Structure 1
Amino acid sequence: MTTKQREITTDEASKIELFVKASVDGGSVGNCPFSQRLFMILWLKGVHFTLTTVDMKRAPHVLKALAPGSQPPFLLYNDDVKRDTNKIEEFLEEKLAPPQFPKLCCRYKESNGAGEDIFRDFSRYVKNPNPAINEQREKKFLSTLVKLNMYLETPLPHELDQNPNATVSSRLYLDGDTLTLADCNLLPKLNIVKVVCKKYRDFSIPTELKGLTRYLDNAYEQEVFRRTCPMESEIFAAYESVAQYLK
């Protein structure tokens, strides 16, 4: 178990420690979209916290006592252990609230569900060993990307308030021009999709999907996303036993 500390701003009233999946070497951050999601949330909140990478193969007894039977990610807030990712997100949004910390929830409920079916169809696509149904799986997966692209290209109400004649959105992210909880959930999954599809299917997200391409380009420019991503080798290691090369 390795501990790293991310210095952002100091919040002396609370002690926050995020436990995330460790890499294969046991030191750096491993491949886990749920861990990255919470890492991004804490970073965006601008709170002082400790990041602890956990190698579950060599987890110390103190960790077993802290969260017996749990898998990362989980959160230690003062002396209270939180284990469910969705509940941790809700807890952090409630506890780390304005005016001291930024609000990260979406203004539009539709943003929360954008891209929600991508990871499911991606998994079916890359885990399929049968060339005969590869085209079918790819089309289904591609349709989920197209659906997300349509959402990203459609102007949101506040954009239409500013420009009633707008036909294509120019926003940076799912819900507007700032990263939200919805982005923290979706972007780590899209990064895995991008890396794995290229390796196992020689498939890249089509540049014709301009909204999705713009979204990812904007995300990778942000340190909070780029620096919380696992190394590509970690993603490959996570998928080498389940993703299938087609022969």
Structure 2
Amino acid sequence: MSDEAAASSNGASDVPEIELIIKASTIDGRRKGACLFCQEYFMDLYLLAELKTISLKVTTVDMQKPPPDFRTNFEATHPPILIDSGLAILENDKIERHIMKNIPGGYNLFVQDKDVATLIENVYSKLKLMLLKKEENKNNSLLGHLKKINDHLASRATRFLTGDTICCFDCELMPRLQHIRVAGKYFVDFEIPNSFEALWRYMYHMYQLDAFTQSCPADQDIINHYKLQQAKGDVKQMKINKHEELETPTFTTSIPIDIAE
């Protein structure tokens, strides 16, 4: 296991220390991997650490070769795993609930907005379907969904999904948008249209946040994540596909339109 740098409380003794165990890169087994839930909770907790309500430690675990102490403590459980005062929370729903109810400041991240919750549902499933089927109509399904998000952002004219302050929905959506950008382009040459100006403006604002940039996996890790899924246990195919391990990590954060602040 290896530790990742994270926002801290500058050593204040009266704030709880929270540890988040996340999946490591499937390329080097040390840097951040491309697990969407890991990045989502990393972002939630990083924002709280920036507010100095907690001290955050992030640990990466290579799930291809998990260390003995991880196996002893967590058996076959996969990250994300949240540890708060020695208590390990192992399931995604329980992690989210724990952040909201038990971690100082967490409640403020979890705003109630049914329209936004519905709006960002199934974004990832449509990406997966597009990558699996590689058919034009599957691209159109994802494109239509992204247009709805773009139109929502345009109508509200706010930096983020529910206002000018980031919330849990942004921590959920933005990692998925990054996967759409990187994996969509690589596998099926899918790109978010420049005409979706509100969505690009939203992504621009998210790219300015340390909570996103510090938690974001490299492009190569996102690509390799889907290559391994497509290989489905075919060891020979895995080896052929893993040329990303020879590349210097890159991070796609460019914006194809001019952003007026």
- TM-score where L is the length of structure 2: 0.80
CA contact (8 A) 1:45 1:102 kept: no
For residue 54 of structure 1, what is the aligned residue in structure 2? 61
Picking from 22, 28, 33, the partner of 1:30 is 33
Distance 1:139 1:116 in 2: 16
Picking from 85, 88, 92, the partner of 2:95 is 88
Q: Displacement, 1:229?
A: 0.5
CA contact (8 A) 2:124 2:176 kept: yes
CA contact (8 A) 1:126 1:243 kept: no
For residue 166 of structure 1, what is the aligned residue in structure 2? none
Picking from 196, 199, 211, the partner of 2:183 is 196
Unpaired segments ≥5 residues, structure 1: 156-169
Write the mapping of 1:2-151 to structure 2, written as runs, cut at 5 A.
2-9=2-9, 10=12, 12=14, 14-23=16-25, 24-46=27-49, 47-98=54-105, 103-129=108-134, 134-151=135-152
The more displaced of 220-229 and 5-14 is 5-14
CA contact (8 A) 2:150 2:196 kept: yes
Instruction: Report the 3-state secondary structure (helix = DSSP H, G, I; strand = E; otherwise coil) of the residue aligned with 2:78.
Output: coil
Distance 1:191 1:230 in 2: 9
Q: Name the CA shift for 1:243/1:58 in 2 (closer, same or farther; >3 Å).
A: closer
For residue 193 of structure 2, what is the aligned residue in structure 1? 206
- C-alpha RMSD over aligned residues: 1.9
What's the CA shift string for 1:127-167, capped at 9, x where partnerless? 225xxxx2211111211111211221223xxxxxxxxxxxx
Picking from 210, 232, 252, the partner of 1:223 is 210
Distance 1:5 1:225 in 2: 13
Q: Displacement, 1:108?
A: 2.6
State how many pairs are aligned: 224
The more displaced of 59-68 and 171-180 is 59-68
Distance 2:87 2:81 in 1: 11
For residue 186 of structure 1, what is the aligned residue in structure 2? 173
Q: Name the CA shift for 1:243/1:215 in 2 (closer, same or farther; >3 Å).
A: farther
Distance 1:216 1:115 in 2: 14
Q: Name the CA shift for 1:21/1:11 in 2 (closer, same or farther; >3 Å).
A: farther
Unpaired segments ≥5 residues, structure 2: 232-261
Look up the equivalent residue of 1:58 and give its one-letter code: K
CA contact (8 A) 1:107 1:175 kept: no
